[in-house]
Structure formats: C-alpha cells, structure tokens
Structure 1
Amino acid sequence: MLTVGDRFPSFKLNALEGGARGLDPKTAFRIVTDADDSTQWKLVFFWPKDFSTLCPTEIVTFGRMAPDFAERGAVIYGVSLDSELAHMNWRLAQPELRDLPFPMLSDIKRELSSACGILDHNEGVPLRATFLVDTESTIRHVSVNDLAVGRNPQEVLRVLDALQAGALCPCNWQKGDEVLRAA
C-alpha cells in the first residue's frame, strides 16, 4: 500500500461531475486526471461500491464539508469501481447524494485502487482509503478503514489543517491552536 512520502499514482478516469452538472446527461461526464487541479491539494477517498448502506454516510459528509476543503485549497475526488453511469443512477436514486458537489470517479478497471494497493483481498473492492496529496503529488496523509467502518471527514480536515500549518502540531491540535516549537 502507498504511504506518506510516496508519489500518488498518475490516473485518467471517467467521472460523473459534481453538482447540478452531474444530473444532466448533456454535462454529466468528463475525464479527470492527476494533472487536473495541479495547484491544489487533493483529497482522494475510495469507497467499495455504489448503492450500499454505509458509503453514503461518508460521501454526504464529505459533500457537506466541500466548502471547508475548498477554503483550504483542496479539491475532493471520490472513487469507486462503479461506472460513471452507475454513479449517476445512484445520485438520482438517493436524494441525499443529488447535490453532491465533487466528481465521482470510475475506477472500473481497478487501475488506481491497485496502484494505491488498497484492494480488499477477499472482496476485490477498494477499502475505505483516504489520501491527502499535496500540490507536488506527494502523499502527505493516508488512512484506511475496514469495509465495515466509516471514516471521520472532520478528522481528515483537521489533518489537512495541521499539514498546512507547517509546524509541529500536537495531539488533538485544531486550526488556530498553538503549534509546538522545537527547542
């Protein structure tokens, strides 16, 4: 599995647009690459499958927090093995996903999840992996949860704040708190 300090893999994936564009078949689809948004941090998070019970709880929360990530110069990419068409049908079928503001990427060939090393050995789907990638494509944070355990988007935002603080940040540090100074 890729870890902190590794280069995030190059990718070129079909995607369902976020927002209203993703609900209109004329504007819904595009290709997203690792070169897109190159001046911004990237939050790339994976979920196992569309039309599941647990995944929307995380996806919706990341969607609600998208303005907080954008305020910090970070874009969000959500990724699963489902096609961009399946993503669209899921958004249309599940009311809480309709206004999702970020693109849903289709890793249907398992190329990105394989390159990241996050495929579950038994199920063949991505684990609940989260990567924070800086503007140089270096992984600065990674966390991976079991398929049965949802992640904490607020903690991902806290870690992004700490990484961008450029200093030593103690346990439970929050944006605006004092940082540690080396002696």
Structure 2
Amino acid sequence: MALTVGDQFPGITVPVQQGVGALPAGETIDLSKTDGKWKVVFFWPKDFTFICPTEIIGYGELVKDLADRDAVLIGASTDTDFVHFAWRKSDERLANCDFPWIADNKKELANALGIVEQNAGVALRATFIVDPHNVIQHVTVNGLNQGRNPAEAIRVLDALQTDELCPCNWQAGEEVLKPAA
C-alpha cells in the first residue's frame, strides 16, 4: 500500500552516498530526523539510464532555492552506494549535484513508501514533500518513462508553506483565496 498525504514518512536509517571525494564507507541518513526542515525526497528508477540524469540535474539546480525555503533535497534509487559513486564519477554534471543520494538497494524505503514497480523491480519516479514533523504533505508518482518537472516541487512547497488556500497554477507572491465570511 502506498503512503500518501497525511502519512508519516518512514523514519528509518538507510545507506547514503554523497559527493565524489572518497569511496563510500558505510554512510547512512536517519530519515526520522528533520532538524526543523522540510524534505523533498525524489526517487528515480536506476542509475546509468537516460531520463534519470535529466531529473537529478534538474532537482540539483534547486538545492539553493530549497535551502531558502528551509528544505533539504534527498535523492534515491534502488542502486547501491558504489553504483551511485561510479555514476557521479562518470558524469561531471551529476558530480555537481551535491545532495545525498539514498542507496536503497534492499528496497526498504521504496517498499515502505509503496513505490516499487513490480514488473521492473525498481522504484517509480516518485516525489515526496515532507514537513518538519515528518508528515507527507505532497506526493507525485510517474511511470518509468515520464520525466518530472522539478520546478513543480518548488511551486508546491511555496503553496504548502503559505498554510493558505492556493488556487490552480498559483505562484509565490500571488493572491491566495480568502473565503467570504
């Protein structure tokens, strides 16, 4: 069963890889810790593929914008930390995507979230926006062949952080809806 809006994001510790300075050495990330920040967690199916790097680079370009919104970016796939490292080393654009990549090769997190594509045995293209209380506030899931628009995560995060009613296609700075009293 897939987790959705209002559900607690799994508070588990999973392997993670970040950067290209050294081989992976068993680093982990505790997903129960929020440090008072929002999280944007996005999964891609597999490293060394075609659509995935476009999404990773697209999300990577948003790291500073997310930080301005008290949010952190975390990527994930069902590959190992060593595969992540090798892929980053092989592509300078990916090496520059300096945010943690979860190595969910046991599919512990992907299964807990309910996003494993059963026939392919990999994670779907899923994005979760999680509030500082570790509660899922937004979920999108795409099939294996459709890339996402990472900028939509910023728009949705902006809307969520207003704690107001935001109409269709709302953008930061625009009027929110005010019901008549």
Q: TM-score range by the shorter chain?
A: over 0.9
2:15: which partner in 1?
14
Please state how far the C-alpha of 1:36 moved relative to its aligned partner.
3.4
Distance 1:82 1:172, change over 3 A: same
The change in CA–CA distance for 1:26 and 1:55 in structure 2 (over 3 A counts) is closer
Identify the residue that residue 115 of structure 1 maps to in structure 2: 112
SS of equivalent to 2:174: coil
Counterpart selection for 2:53 from 49, 53, 56: 56
- CA separation of 1:26 and 1:148: change in aligned 2, threshold 3 A: closer
Residue type at the aligned position of 1:132: I
The percent of aligned pairs where both chains have the same amino acid is: 48
In 1, the alpha carbon distance for the partners of 2:64 and 2:50 equals 25
Asked if residue 106 in structure 1 is aligned to residue 103 in structure 2, the reply is yes
Q: Residue by residue, what CA displacement relative to the aligned partner does 1:128-160 show, whole Å, maximum 9, x if unpaired?
A: 000000011110000000100001111111000
Q: How does 1:92-171 map to 2 (within 5 A)?
A: 92-171=89-168
Q: In the alignment, which of 21, 24, 29 is matched to residue 24 of structure 1?
A: 21
> Is the CA contact 2:34–2:133 (under 8 Å) kept in the aligned structure 1?
no
Q: Could you give the per-residue CA deviations for residues 63-90 of structure 1, whole angstroms, max 9, x where no partner exists?
A: 0111001100000110111111110100
- TM value normalised by structure 1: 0.94
2:74 corresponds, among 73, 77, 89, to: 77
Displacement of 1:29 in angstroms is 5.8
| Runs of 4 or more above 6 Å deviation | none
Do the aligned residues in 2 keep the contact of 1:37 with 1:75 (CA within 8 Å)?
A: no
TM-score by length of 2: 0.95
Matched length: 179
Give deviations 1:36-78, integer Å, cap 9, x for gaps: 3331000010000000010000000110111001100000110
Unpaired runs of 5+ residues, structure 2, are none
Distance 1:135 1:103 in 2: 18
- 2:23–2:85 contact (8 Å) kept in structure 1: no
Q: CA deviation at 1:26?
A: 6.5
